[in-house]
Structure 1
């Protein structure tokens, strides 16, 4: 009983070893046949990934503005939104739109994206074109009104009137137009020229916003001007300060016709404080459009995230806009980026509604390439099964040449010599291993060897 059990165990081990051997041989044959095809597919995919570079950078530098400015506040919101997708936004504080534009044009500045105010470029340096090569717009974000605040007592003293009614009345005034890094000095230069106003007839100051507001409240300035969104702390404070008035641009429509980057906007009566009726009447303003400008060549996936963030940050209702008015493609001084144009035309990519950003972006960027590769590789894949079949069957068929040679030599060569050759062939065939689906051909070969042996014996 013990001997029978040991014999059964030995037979089971041998059967298991044979099964494993046959399985490994089948896997080896499959790899040898399909391996080149799989390797070609991987090489093509790697090449497409390298060429398309579908993964956006994990770090981006966004130039904003001065501390406590609207640009700085918006930059913080952009950073939080992109952080949700694993992208760290480095906020670069600047003096304003003009410095932001200069940093974008400077190759070694490290700034990738920036807030830029319409009309902030210096025509003397840009040749009046306003469309610097190497930059592209991601859309208009919000109206950035030009706020001209002045002291009532200064108007009374200089004009004998409590209000400033025309910019042509400014000669002799002490006016702050902001630092050279902001976009206001270049914008005011265009406004002065349009009004035939010579800058040397005024006492122009170039203080930053905070010192300028302090000087205005102290009576050291008669007026100041800056461009900012109404969310700015300075704007909110000056609109509520007694004795400080806001200039009414009665010719706002004319400014908009003259300058493509300017829009006429209306500050409605009571929008600042309904209970106090501030302002006491509608005030017309001119408003350059703030834009998000990027270097040409910025990663498309990053541009897609930025315009999505822009819709989240600037898409609500405000003092000068209805819900959904911004961001948009109007009043952009630079060519619109292709990815931004795609967003404004079709909205966010469909897959991002159901998949994480990174996976959806990878499929979105590589989808066309994957379809193209499948179209190319699918016909090639049909070659794999015949090759695999030929490789397996060749193990059996290659012995027929020797078997035929032995059969043809019967009668012309010694029988014992042919018998030894036939024994060698039979022994080698016994070592051949094929998948079960091809076992019939192996057994057919063995039967043919037996037939030749019978013929040799006869």
Structure 2
């Protein structure tokens, strides 16, 4: 039992002594190599700063028409960014096409934008990537007059022809509503002889309620004011999409939304039966040069703001990486698989970002620089041997002076010099591998001191002794 305790004690002492020795070697290494380490660190920081600069504190984002749902959502993103110490400037625009143009212009300061899926793709636009979809944008067609049941296709087709003879609003040219309306009408073969009004959402609602137009396409969220105004009007009807699966095949970016009977209004039992609606998605597009840290911040904002449950979306459904027509950002792909970086979960954004970037400086510095310097051929030994050899040179000089021109009155002076030389030797911090050289130096100093104390002329025989 005693031997086991002794073994444990010896093992502990061995580990402790080894740790002390390694720590001593490391601190001595820092003392000896600090100028070189500082030069390397400054160089590494310089490369890091230019190769991976910090994210900008000001970002410009294109939203949509003033008062629209995109502007409302943009303000929520701006508030989220403000809490993280970043200013998100919102730029009102006329619609999706203008947003895409801002992103595609490499000199434009806009770095992010809300754009409906299906309006453009990566084959037409360069330098734009997607961070995924952030919400559904149902395609609503509201109309006045007799209600048409969705199961009667011929009635629907006839009704559409009636609409096209009258005036319907298809949104402002260049807007997402206009583009989606044109896709649907073209898919149904209605391309000629059309009588369109190009009204923004709020004006289309007013015109439809006053009877100035008979129908209006609106692409907006269920919660949007324009949509709610028309849904709550009993004189306005909603056209469904009974052939939703066909649309989703012809227009792959389209999503099918199920609407149970009475879900819009239980009192009116509106709709009176289960219906299907078509929807595009709002995609969060970015300039592909956006800093990765900002991309993660946008994705976190989308998760917090758009990840909440809504009429059509379940909790956590957005951000979603659906068919947007644009290449997904590598950051979005990483986020889809792994979520946000761990540091962003527990630290403020600015601190997490700084620590994350510093890790990429100090890890290579600590993991590569120190071992490389330690493994340089005889780096430390040569440095220490050079110091020992310098002291040997001083000792040799003293000995040569004593041999060539010894004066008894200089004995005390040389003894002081030897004491100082020994003191300098004692200040050397040598590793165990250099111990023999270190103690040889001290022995040599002691030898010269002994010779000096031996007699009147310690380095020469007495003349009478030499004649014997």
Deviation at 1:146, TM superposition (A): 0.9
Give CA-to-partner distance per residue, 1:50-105, whole Å, 9 cap, x none: 3122x211111111112332211111111111111101110111122222112211
Q: Which residue of 1 aligns with 2:393?
A: 398
Deviation at 1:272, TM superposition (A): 2.4
**Matched ranges for 1:160-171 at <5 A:** 167-171=160-164
- Find the aligned partners of 2:33 and 2:341 in 1 and give their Cα distance: 39
Contact 2:391–2:425, Cα closer than 8 Å, also in 1 = no
Deviation at 1:162, TM superposition (A): 10
2:368 to 368, 376, 382: 376
Contact 1:117–1:290, Cα closer than 8 Å, also in 2 = yes
Give CA-to-partner distance per residue, 1:259-283, whole Å, 9 cap, x none: 1111121233222233443333333
Contact 1:33–1:387, Cα closer than 8 Å, also in 2 = no
Distance 1:365 1:172, change over 3 A: same
1:312 to 289, 304, 326: 304
Q: Which residue of 1 aligns with 2:138?
A: 145
- Aligned with 1:322: secondary structure? coil
- Find the aligned partners of 2:330 and 2:59 in 1 and give their Cα distance: 19
Deviation at 1:345, TM superposition (A): 0.5
Q: Which residue of 2 aligns with 1:97?
A: 96
Q: Which has the higher contact order (CA 8 A, sep 6+)?
A: 1
Q: Which residue of 1 aligns with 2:48?
A: 48
Distance 1:170 1:419, change over 3 A: farther
Q: Which residue of 1 aligns with 2:107?
A: 108
Distance 1:338 1:44, change over 3 A: same
- Aligned with 2:110: secondary structure? coil
Q: Which residue of 2 aligns with 1:185?
A: 178
May I ask how many residue pairs the two structures share in their alignment? 414
Deviation at 1:143, TM superposition (A): 1.5
Deviation at 1:351, TM superposition (A): 2.3
- Aligned with 1:170: secondary structure? helix
- Find the aligned partners of 2:320 and 2:28 in 1 and give their Cα distance: 59
- Find the aligned partners of 1:280 and 1:436 in 2 and give their Cα distance: 99
- Aligned with 2:165: secondary structure? coil
- Aligned with 2:252: secondary structure? coil
Distance 1:313 1:423, change over 3 A: same
Contact 2:97–2:119, Cα closer than 8 Å, also in 1 = yes
- Find the aligned partners of 1:185 and 1:385 in 2 and give their Cα distance: 74
Does 2:326 match 1:322?
Answer: no
TM norm structure 2: 0.79
Contact 1:29–1:391, Cα closer than 8 Å, also in 2 = no
Contact 1:70–1:228, Cα closer than 8 Å, also in 2 = yes
- Aligned with 1:287: secondary structure? strand
Between stretches 229-238 and 424-433, larger displacement belongs to 424-433
**Matched ranges for 1:18-29 at <5 A:** none
Deviation at 1:149, TM superposition (A): 0.8
Contact 1:267–1:319, Cα closer than 8 Å, also in 2 = no
Deviation at 1:365, TM superposition (A): 4.1
Contact 1:392–1:434, Cα closer than 8 Å, also in 2 = no
**Matched ranges for 1:226-241 at <5 A:** 226-241=218-233
Deviation at 1:204, TM superposition (A): 0.8
Give CA-to-partner distance per residue, 1:290-346, whole Å, 9 cap, x none: 100001111000000101111111112222222222211111210000111100111
Distance 1:435 1:42, change over 3 A: farther
Q: Which residue of 2 aligns with 1:5?
A: none
- Find the aligned partners of 1:353 and 1:400 in 2 and give their Cα distance: 64
Query: Where does structure 2 lack aligned partners over 5 or more consecutive residues?
Result: 1-26, 149-153, 430-437, 458-468
- Aligned with 1:285: secondary structure? strand
- Find the aligned partners of 2:277 and 2:159 in 1 and give their Cα distance: 13
- Aligned with 1:325: secondary structure? coil
Deviation at 1:114, TM superposition (A): 0.2
Q: Which residue of 1 aligns with 2:266?
A: 274
Deviation at 1:225, TM superposition (A): 0.6
Q: CA RMSD in A?
A: 3.3
- Find the aligned partners of 2:178 and 2:156 in 1 and give their Cα distance: 23
- Find the aligned partners of 1:435 and 1:163 in 2 and give their Cα distance: 103
**Matched ranges for 1:252-271 at <5 A:** 252-271=244-263
- Aligned with 1:334: secondary structure? coil
- Find the aligned partners of 1:422 and 1:445 in 2 and give their Cα distance: 18
**Matched ranges for 1:201-216 at <5 A:** 201-216=193-208
Distance 1:403 1:114, change over 3 A: same
Deviation at 1:349, TM superposition (A): 1.3
Q: Which residue of 2 aligns with 1:290?
A: 282
- Find the aligned partners of 1:214 and 1:426 in 2 and give their Cα distance: 107
Contact 2:261–2:273, Cα closer than 8 Å, also in 1 = yes
- Aligned with 1:274: secondary structure? coil
Query: Where does structure 1 lack aligned partners over 5 or more consecutive residues?
Result: 1-26, 156-160
